[in-house]
Amino acid sequence: MPRLFHSPNSRSSRVIAQLMQMGHLSDVEVVLVDVPRQDGGGRRDPDNPHPEGKVPFLITDDGQEVRESAAIMMYLDELFGQPLSPKLGSVERGAYLSWMTYYGGVLEPVLVSSVAGFEHPAFASTFRSMNEIGAALERGLGDKPFLLGEGLSVADILMASAFQWAPHFMPDSAVIKAWLNRVGAATDSTALQVYEAAAMKQLGAVEPA
């Protein structure tokens, strides 16, 4: 059984949401670990094998290590028969791969720099700004309910998670806000909140070694 190292209310929460959506949460061993938090809480957990103490981190059945949210989410989707992504060779596959790499390559760096108040011409020329990200999302969505068309995909879960984490940085766009609402409605956010609350309680009950 694959082992997912997870810390509640963190970047690994979107992987939990994906597993819930696919109906395969019970087919993965979720190992709760602590991580340093932006508010100064938390800690680097010695039980977390991630080389930088981050989450998510996945160890496959054969002991291979998979890191980075997009890679882990794509791996799990493929492991369970691709219920949330276009099949190989399908028309939507290129757009799917583009969004999955756009998240880590553009969206997250720009979002984190915005949160930190960091500005630099070299950064802006390489990654652009939230304005360009908003335009890219609007263009990608067009008149579709989701990024790839009629159905929810892993790309929607990953891309939307950024604005669920930092809603105050959400682009001021009716198209994007409607899409985020659809993603929230399509995933069981209530079940995720219950799961995360229980995980946080369990994690808090573990005394640091």
Helix intervals (H) in 54-129: 69-79, 93-102, 108-116, 121-127
Asked, for residue 138, whether it belongs to a domain, the answer is yes
Q: Domain total for the chain? A: 2
In a domain, 176, yes or no: yes
End-to-end CA distance of the chain: 27
Amino acid at 168: H
Considering only CA atoms, which of 43, 60, 42 is closest in space to residue 5? Answer: 60
Q: Residue 54: its pLDDT value, please?
A: 96
Q: Order of strands, edge to edge, in the sheet holding 3-6?
A: 29-32, 3-6, 57-59, 65-67
Question: Mean of the per-residue pLDDT values for the chain?
Answer: 94
In a domain, 209, yes or no: no
pLDDT tens for each residue of 138-180: 999 999 999 999 999 999 999 999 998 888 889 999 999 999 9
Looking at the structure, do residues 20 and 80 belong to the same domain, yes or no? yes
Judgement on whether residues 79 and 131 belong to the same structural domain of the protein: no
| Structural tokens at position 102 | 């756009």
Same domain for 69 and 99, yes or no, is no
Please give the pLDDT value at position 209.
45
CATH, residue 76: 3.40.30.10
Judge if 20 and 105 occupy the same domain: no
Does residue 178 fall inside a structural domain? Answer: yes
Token pair listed for 196: 């995360």
Regarding whether 101 and 179 lie in a shared domain, the answer is yes
Comparing CA positions, the residue from 71, 66, 91 lying closest to residue 18 is 71
Q: Are residues 148 and 126 in the same domain?
A: yes
How does pLDDT run along the chain (209 residues), one tens digit per residue? 999 999 999 999 999 999 999 999 999 999 999 999 878 788 999 999 999 999 999 999 999 999 999 999 999 999 999 999 999 999 999 999 999 999 999 999 999 999 889 999 999 999 989 999 999 999 999 999 999 999 999 999 999 999 988 888 899 999 999 999 999 999 998 999 999 999 999 988 654 54
141/106 same-domain check: yes
**Sign of torsion, CA 189 192 198 202?**
negative
Same domain, 141 and 175: yes
Q: Are 113 and 45 contained in the same domain?
A: no
Q: Which residues have a Cβ under 8 Å from the Cβ of 164 and sit 6 or more positions away?
A: 180, 184
* Residues 193 and 182 placed together within one structural domain of the fold: no
Q: What is the CATH number of the domain that holds 127?
A: 1.20.1050.10
Regarding whether 197 and 130 lie in a shared domain, the answer is no
To 10 degrees, the CA torsion angle through 60, 55, 88, 133?
-170
Q: Within a domain: residue 16?
A: yes
Report the predicted TM-score, pTM, of the whole model to 2 decimal places. Answer: 0.94
For residue 31, the SS3 value is strand
Range of the domain at 169: 93-186
Q: Which residues neighbour 140 within 8 Å (Cβ) at sequence distance 6 or greater?
A: 95, 99, 147
11: number of Cβ within 10 Å: 18
Instruction: State whether 176 and 120 are in the same domain.
Output: yes
